[in-house]
Amino acid sequence: MAGSACTPCCCRGAEFFLPVEVEGGLLSGGDCHAGQANAEYSGTALESNFNARLRVTVLKANDSTISPLYKNLITPLLENSNEWCFHGFTVNDYLHDPQ
C-alpha cells in the first residue's frame, strides 16, 4: 500500500509500518534511490544499486502488546530515531468506497 514512498526519512534502523489491506497481502520493493527529495514529484532521483536486509513482522490488530498508534493505521508510517513520517496518498480506496 505504500506505492512510491520516496523519503529521506528512510535510513538505517528505520521502521516502516504498512497497513495490510487484504488477507494474504504480499510485499515487494525496488527502484532504490541514493538521493531524492520528498516524493516522486521532485522529478529527479539518483538511481543506485542497493542491498538491503529487511525484517518483516506481521502485527495483528488484536495483539494487546502493540501501541494503539500502530493498531489502526490507514496510511504508511515510517519511524526513525528522530521523527515519525506519515505518508498520505490521494488514491481511490477501492476496498472501502462504494462503486
Q: Which domain holds residue 83?
A: 1-98
For residue 58, pLDDT beyond 60:
yes
Does this model's pTM top 0.75? My answer is: no
Between the CA of residue 17 and those of 41, 44, 48, 71, 78, what are the distances in Å?
Answer: 23, 26, 24, 10, 6
Handedness of CA 57, 30, 21, 40 (dihedral sign): positive
pLDDT number for residue 85 = 83
**Number of domains the chain contains:** 1
The answer to whether 28 and 48 are in contact (CB under 8 A) is no
Per-residue confidence band for 84, with pLDDT thresholds at 50, 70 and 90: confident
